């Protein structure tokens, strides 16, 4: 019976398979961004964001996070996003003081069940980001949607990754760092598309 339930779960998960991407519009002009001094990264969480502790393959919620001890999942997700984006912008420390305003739209990582049993999976992360003058609040860029989906490790690969220190927090933070540096025009372009099971 347990094997039957697992098979049914895999079938349902396969129905959620699709194409995912790390994507944004053209990178910002490094001739402009290198004249910025990033003073702060603010992550906003709309009241409409949903979260859940449901341990299924792909629960229907905007924020799904089990990579840390139980707590305020929205705050945990916001911290990871802020840390990753801050690291990606950390080299911008001269010139015009600016702030990065981030509105989180989705942070859908793996449940323990999906991480242990799914044949493949994806961390779905998306947000809007805008650069504003840190002193006046004047917008310096239009709000831009960034898709920062990341291939997730499952099964034995997930266990091996943790043994090597590659936890979900580490991988997602580093990915957001690289996405941010690419978007700001100060790092390699990480944009790509891939197929996997996911929400």
The whole-angstrom separation of Cα 181 and Cα 187 is 5
- Orientation of helix 73-88 relative to helix 168-183, angle to 10°: 50
**What local confidence, expressed as pLDDT, does residue 47 receive?**
96
The domain 2-196 is placed in CATH, from the list 3.40.50, 2.60.40, 3.90.550, 3.30.1120, at: 3.40.50
pLDDT of residue 19: 86
- pLDDT, residue 29, reads 98
Domain ranges of the chain: 2-196
- Confidence at residue 14, expressed as pLDDT on a 0 to 100 scale: 43
**Distant-in-sequence, close-in-space partners of 14: CB < 8 Å, separation ≥ 6:** 197
pLDDT of residue 188: 98
| Dihedral, CA of residue 183, residue 93, residue 78 and residue 81, to nearest 10 | 40
pLDDT of residue 148: 98
Report, as ranges of residue numbers, the positions in the chain whose pLDDT lies below 70. 1-17, 198-199
CA-nearest of 81, 66, 102 to 173 is 81
Report the pLDDT value the prediction gives residue 17, as an integer from 0 to 100.
57
Residues 6+ apart with CB under 8 A from 73: 51, 53, 63, 64, 65
pTM comes to 0.89
Burial status of residue 79 (CB atoms within 10 A of its CB: 0-12, 13-18, 19 or more)? middle
**What pLDDT, on a 0 to 100 scale, did the predictor assign at position 18?**
77
């Amino acid at each position: 019976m347990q094997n039957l339930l697992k098979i049914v779960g895999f079938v349902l998960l396969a129905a959620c398979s699709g194409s995912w991407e790390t994507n944004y519009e053209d990178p910002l002009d490094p001739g402009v961004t290198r004249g910025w001094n990033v003073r702060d990264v603010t992550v906003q969480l709309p009241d409409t964001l949903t979260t859940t502790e449901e341990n299924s393959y792909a629960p229907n919620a905007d924020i799904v996070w089990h990579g840390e001890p139980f707590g305020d999942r929205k705050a945990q997700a916001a911290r990871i996003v802020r840390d990753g984006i801050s690291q990606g912008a950390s080299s911008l420390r001269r010139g015009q003081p600016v702030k990065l305003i981030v509105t989180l739209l989705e942070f859908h990582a793996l449940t323990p069940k999906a991480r242990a049993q799914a044949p493949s999976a994806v961390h779905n992360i998306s947000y809007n980001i805008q650069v504003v003058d840190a002193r006046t609040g004047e917008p310096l860029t239009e709000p831009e949607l960034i898709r920062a989906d990341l291939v997730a490790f499952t099964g034995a690969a997930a266990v091996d990754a943790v043994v090597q220190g590659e936890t979900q927090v580490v991988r997602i933070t580093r990915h957001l760092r690289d996405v941010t540096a690419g978007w700001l025009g100060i790092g390699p372009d990480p944009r790509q598309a891939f197929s996997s099971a996911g929400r």
